[in-house]
Amino acid sequence: AVRIIIGCPLDSEGLPGPAARSAARVAEAVRSQTELPVELWDESGSTRTARAARVAMGVSRRNRSGHLDEIAATVILQSYLDAKPVNDSDQLP
């Protein structure tokens, strides 16, 4: 099934803070512009994981400044996919 996933930062206790409320506002704005389902997903630790991934990929210190947000977005989406059961009806064509 097709849907839009938006990262939602939660605090160390798993509670929404100001940034999570901002993400919720973005989600509502997106919902108002599309018929696709929009889900908020915990993005806690995604930037830390993205930094570690760049190191694991062998990216030199000098070249580590770019693409962090893109890698973190990939981490968030993969976390979402890993947490969801796979059903044949959910497969994309």
Query: 38-61: per-residue pLDDT in tens?
Result: 999 999 888 888 888 888 888 877
Residue type, 78: Q
| Domain CATH code at residue 44 | 3.30.420.140
For the chain, what is the domain count?
1
Using pLDDT thresholds of 50, 70 and 90, give the confidence band for residue 65.
Answer: confident
Domain span at 24: 4-85
Contact of 36 with 69, CB cutoff 8 Å: no
93 in a structural domain: no
Question: How far does CA 59 lie from the centroid of its chain?
Answer: 22
25 in a structural domain: yes
Tell whether pTM > 0.75.
yes
In whole angstroms, give the CA distance from residue 68 to residue 53: 10
